Amino acid sequence: MAKIHVKMTVNGREVEGLAEPRTLLIHFLREDLGITGPHIGCDTSHCGACTVDLDGKSVKSCTVFVGQAEGADVTTIEGIAAADGTLHPLQEAFREHHGLQCGFCTPGMITRAHRLLQENPNPSDAEIRMGISGNLCRCTGYQNIVKAIRVAADEINSAREAAE
Amino acid sequence: MIPGAFDYHRPKTVDEAVGLLSSLGDDATVVAGGHSLIPMMKLRMAVPEHLVDLQDLDDLKGISVSGTAVTLGAMVTQNELIASNALAQACPIIRETALQIADPQIRYVGTVGGNVANGDPGNDMPGLMLALDAAYELVGPDGTREVRARDFYDAAFFTARSDGEILTAIKISAPPAGHGWSYMKQKRKIGDYATAAAAVVLTMDGATCAIASIGLTNVADTALFAEAASAALTGSDLGDAAIAEAVAAAKAITNPAQDGRGPAEFRTHVCGMMVQRAVARAAERAA
Ligand SMILES: Cc1cc2nc3c(=O)[nH]c(=O)nc-3n(C[C@H](O)[C@H](O)[C@H](O)COP(=O)(O)OP(=O)(O)OC[C@H]3O[C@@H](n4cnc5c(N)ncnc54)[C@H](O)[C@@H]3O)c2cc1C
Ligand code: FES
Ligand code: FES
């Protein structure tokens, strides 16, 4: 089966490559592009460790073929911090409030939370829990993850108000 | 898990897509959101040689609501169903059902067309479409036809759609303003298919139920339209006796598989509970 030529934007950078159509986006990111932030946890569309942002939607990149992402704008955990390396408020809050233990789920959690806060800048704890319900954490527990997202939301909102 | 190899096609128009399906024949499968198909391909339970991606078909996108006439393009995602206020006004049970499907990531890409075309009894939209008496628009090499949801589901993964056809739209005549509705789903956790679920829509005329309609999810080989259960409510006062009769009639048509969700008897029992709760909730909401 012929390989296909794919082009997309990943973390603001235009990338392209030749790939078999059956290549999953997660494999293209990790193996062809060396972007290893998104993890493969379950490989069955359940855990959310492979979550990336694709054209403004959180998706599980283990369940997207590379051709489906042709022309798309993709953001992974590597694209969340500022260009100068300053951590995003979500990353700061996860660190400060013990939102991670082993860190395996964290790239997916933060990428998902990032999209959630764009859609709902001031979520209740219940809305955060629903919003990250496609992401599983097997060791930290959700208490501190929810707290970190809550704190980051407050941080982002007050920075925005101060700027206005 | 690596799927089998295939060639990838991304047509720009419905005609082009239908043409591809005709020329490629049996070995071609369409992909919409891919969130039922790709997991099956990873397990090699589906091994298409050609994948025809529908994502560029703009004719399959968009929600139109005009009075009670609702048309959903096949490529409308579950997330778009949830986000549409016009749809929530006209036919709120669609949002309530979509919110109980899978998780946020899956709802961003999973489409309503894929959900109803898939033919998996675990999908939530078919039971809802049976309750709403929706019609599916199919386009194939011989033109366009409409099939009622109630005539669409033959057996698990077997539907009235022929291989060369694409499901382009879902047409619903929403129940009148003031109707009651409820989609009740019992599941083990978020992201699980139903142990059992029930869709209920009903319209009251004073204290009498003028018309009621019940669909069931994941309690048989296909989603079920519970005709006798619906009839038990129609014309009744929705009192305990009528509800008990509807519950018994719904349970009588179930034939669930025994799986990790429980033994068949349990799932039939849960189905009865879902019908009872959905009728009660719909009655509360009806004007
Ligand atoms: C972890 C997980 C949990 C889930 N939980 C639920 C749940 O609780 N409830 C639920 O209902 N679903 C659930 N799903 C399934 C999900 O909702 C799917 O997205 C949906 O069933 C199919 O939509 P799709 O657009 O992804 O279709 P695809 O996977 O692209 O297609 C499914 C099938 O339909 C065919 N098809 C698709 N579109 C068309 C069309 N327009 N015309 C003709 N044929 C077409 C395809 O060829 C394929 O055979 C879950 C999925 C996952 C991965
Ligand atoms: S690896 Fe993709 S959802 Fe678990
Ligand atoms: S931090 Fe270990 S799985 Fe979440």
pLDDT digits (tens, 9 = 90+) for B143-195: 999 999 999 999 999 999 999 999 999 999 999 999 999 999 999 999 999 99
Which pLDDT score, from 0 to 100, does residue B237 have?
96
Q: Is residue B126 part of a domain?
A: yes
Is residue A101 within 6 Å of ligand 3 at its C-beta? yes
CA A55-A19-B106 angle, to 5 degrees, is: 35
pLDDT band at residue B96 under the 50/70/90 scheme: very high
Which ligand is nearest the CA of A47, by number?
A: 2
Q: Which of A55, A56, A50, A48 is nearest to A24 (CA)?
A: A50
Shared-domain flag, residues B214 and B136? no
Are residues A68 and A122 located together in one domain of the fold? no
At residue A1, does pLDDT exceed 80?
no
Residue A152: give the domain boundaries.
89-163
* Per-residue pLDDT at A17: 96
**Can you give the pLDDT at residue B7?**
97
Shortest-distance atom of ligand 1 to CA B31: 30
Q: Is residue B2 in a domain? A: no
Q: What percent of chain B has pLDDT over 90?
A: 99
The string over B137-169, giving b where at least 16 C-beta atoms fall within 10 Å of a residue's C-beta and e elsewhere, is: bbbbeeeeeebebbebbeeeeebbbeebbbbbb
The stretch A77-91 carries a mean pLDDT of: 97
Q: What per-residue confidence (pLDDT) applies to B236?
A: 98
Number of domains in chain A: 2
**What pLDDT was estimated at residue B287?**
87
Residue A84 lies in a domain: no
For chain A, percent of residues with pLDDT exceeding 90: 98
Same domain, A32 and A64: yes
pLDDT tens for residues A87-128? 999 999 999 999 999 999 999 999 999 999 999 999 999 999
Which pLDDT tens digit goes with each residue over B235-263? 999 999 999 999 999 999 999 999 999 99
What's the pLDDT band for B121 if we cut at 50, 70, 90?
very high
pLDDT, averaged across chain B: 97
B residues 88-127 near A, CB within 8 Å?
102-106, 108-109
Query: CA B264 to CA B244: how far, in whole Å?
Result: 20
First vs last C-alpha separation in chain A: 55
Continuous H helices in A4-163: 25-27, 89-96, 106-119, 125-131, 142-163
Mean pLDDT to the nearest integer, B114-141: 98
Predicted local distance difference test score (pLDDT) of residue B245: 98
- Show the domain range for B98: 60-173
**Looking at the partner chain, which of B10, B31, B108 has a beta carbon nearest the beta carbon of A58?**
B108
For residue A2, what pLDDT is reported? 87
Q: How many CB pairs under 8 A join A and B?
A: 81
Same domain, B12 and B116: no
Nearest to residue A55, comparing CAs of A33, A73, A38?
Answer: A73
- Domain total in chain B: 3
For residue range B23-72, what is the model confidence (pLDDT) as tens digits? 999 899 999 999 999 999 999 999 999 999 999 999 999 999 999 999 99
Q: What is the CATH number of the domain that holds B229?
A: 3.30.390.50
Question: Band of the pLDDT at B233, cuts 50, 70, 90?
Answer: very high
Beta bridge partners of B209: B204
Q: What integer is the mean pLDDT of B113-135?
A: 98
SS3 at position A27: helix
Do A33 and A96 have their domain in common? Answer: no
What CATH number is attached to the domain comprising A16? 3.10.20.30
At A126-152, the pLDDT tens digits run 999 999 999 999 999 999 999 999 999
Is B1 part of a structural domain of the chain? Answer: no
Closest-CA distance of chain A to residue B8, Å: 6
